[in-house]
Structure 1
Amino acid sequence: MFVDHAVIYVKGGNGGNGIVAWRREKYVPRGGPAGGDGGHGGDVVLVVDEGLRTLVDFRYQRHFKAKAGEPGGSANRHGANGEDLVVKVPPGTTVRDRDTGEFLGDLVRPGDRLVVARGGRGGRGNAHFANSVRKAPEIAEKGEPGEERVIELELRVLADVGLVGYPSVGKSTLLRAVTRAEPKVGAYPFTTLHPELGVVELSDGRSFVMADLPGLIEGAHAGRGLGHQFLRHVERTRVLVHVIDMAAVDGRDPVEDYRVIEHELEKYRADLADRPRVVAANKMDLPNAIENLERFRATYPDLEVFPISGATHQGLRPFAERLYDLIQAAPEPVSADVEVADPTARKVYRLSDEEPVKIRKEDGVFVVEHPEIEKIVQMTNFDQYDAVKRFQRIMKLRGVDDALRAHGAKDGDVIRIGDVVFDFVD
């Protein structure tokens, strides 16, 4: 089963909790705080596996969670980090955040890696909070929650040569004739419902990958028929081969077939017009093919046309040799909506004003919204007195208390930050 689109949920591992612990050694009175930090949570990482050709595995597993970090130990022992969760994807997979539409990465080459959900950092143990004033802090952080998001995977077939054309013009037969692929072939439209790949091996050991892409119909650029499911795969091919039924077996006009297919490609993506292409004049072993070929060449004198027959193997060798030469000269294709990273570029980070705290009132409850404040709440252990006092100091220093007063909060009002509810004390 070929699947070229999947939506999955990914979550990085939570950081391990820091702990409150003390040095307990003979002859060391008042040994001081010795609570270790929690380990970092594991990341969810997508990795290209060249042995995969489809996203079908994601139909049966849609949730991926990395392991959490271990809690810290006594004697300042650091908790073990959670293992990364490696998820294998086929070459040609693009990744986006489904909810925001943000482009996350384009995984093309074997071994390419992309972290899609980072694990949370481990919480700090009480040894971290000791200072000259507070020598015995009863405070430790909880681990930071790992990132979570829903991502969209889209596979765009990677091939050197893409066979395009109307259904039933003989693309599958041609692929089978020049490669060892075994595509399903039948005498009815839309026999091929998904891309088929095969390796063309020339006599001197050279080779390239050819893809039989699902048949186009008029209006495909607007989504008719297989529409965009087909056209997204065209973007990845270096060379396009128009397969034309020169015998007009189904009563279509070869000249018009070429014009319509070109129109659909141009409407979908204008720069496909610059992609190297040749015409495979197929079914030359059948009646009327020679007359139609002469008329086709007269109509399109600038096109490079190869008279062939996928059924009898007529003309396949020079056809394959020419394709190899075109591939070597063609630049690597880039998908239209995929950002390309500049390997020489350097990121420049500048200080910016801190994001302001947002406060809104909902059903009588004051809701505080700020990603950093929400993270502090998640990592605070409210069962520890020192942790509560520290949290209160942070709220005051960050201006949350003043902002609440400015919005009309009074003693006893209910405040919510994330999933935690407090009483406001003025």
Structure 2
Amino acid sequence: MVIDTFAQDKARPGEDPIRTLRFGVNYTPRHGWFHSWYDFDPGRAREDLAQIAGLGLDHVRVFHLWPLLQPNRTHIRTSAVDQLAHLVDLAGEAGLDVLVDGVQGHLSSFDFYPEWTRSWHHRNVFTDPDAITAQADLLRTLGRALAGRPHLIGLQLGNELNNLVEHNPVTPAEVDHYLDTLLAAARAGLGPHGLVTHSAYDAAWYGDDHPFTPEASARKGDLTTVHPWVFTGDCARRYGPRSPQVHHLAEYGTELAKAYATDPERPVWVQETGAPEPHIPAADAPDFARATVRNATECEGLWGVTWWCSHDVDRSLADFPELEYTLGLFDAAGRPKPIAEALAEAVAEPHIVQPRDTALVLECTPSTRSVSGPGGEYFEAWMRMRERGVRPAVVLAERAEDEGYLAARGIKSVVLPGL
């Protein structure tokens, strides 16, 4: 695990820099959303990043668009790569560290494919050997361009790549090959310093027979990323926007991810969470932000929390789902919203890890994975324990009698759902 650049300059004297919590935001440009890459304006980016840094956040996650970076299978545009590197440098000037996502891929309900993967040239991006080679080339190129920048956190394969499975059928074994190949390419380009990661939306954890598996998320790459969204499984509507199920969702996602890891000390990053209307009404968003941060930061091994997202999508842009227009900490005019103030307050508070010496046993198969998602029997059993004041860990059934493993996680007792 390569983690030597987590937060060296953020740690206070005597602290382990690896354990210093990180708080950031997924950067969505205020002017033009991600279409702004077509006419990248460093001045506007500098303004956006200064606003983000002003909230006391320490990092951003940034996204370029795959078709602009690699319009032909064997051609990577140097100017587009230079734009991305420039944005990383601008963030550094603002005092922000940066994680770069490479293959976009999927963003806010839109999929961005280069033309060489579509229509007459259709290639399955997960299984076609030439398509995999091309993506690996792109990640190596990005890694080389970004390596050595002092504010770089690392390189991620792309944003929620499993959103692309609907148009690119794939098996779990093929996903494993795809991820292993791309992670190796990213590491080869980036070199020994910085994180190499991948991300998936919640179907990887809760979706029955989804080809991206919890094991892949929790065991591949340098840490585990989770994207616990309140609309998954209709969580907020099912339980209510102020419910414990909603306020503890990121905490639960962190603990669930830890259960699937083979390394008991593997860090977990709450890399996306946010307050989408109407699932979380604007009046409830500040309390949701405070509760999400406070509850998640009680988890041992949490790398940090990265909010989605920095700026609202301007309503002059058409065809976004309604919830996408209101997810920002800043509105489309650049004004901070009440949720921005609440998040800044929560980030500035002391954060104390709480022990979890009781674990709830999870037993499921790939075809019954939904028991662990909102509405599922296991999810609801865990939340009932949490409402009673217990902070349950999650342990897989096959590890429930492994004394060495349990001891390594600080677990002293295990209980079955329903008992």
TM-score of the two chains, using structure 2 as the length reference: 0.25
Kindly indicate whether structure 1 or structure 2 has the higher relative contact order, using CA contacts under 8 Å at least 6 residues apart: 2
**Which protein is richer in strand relative to its size?**
1
The answer to which structure has the higher helix fraction is 2
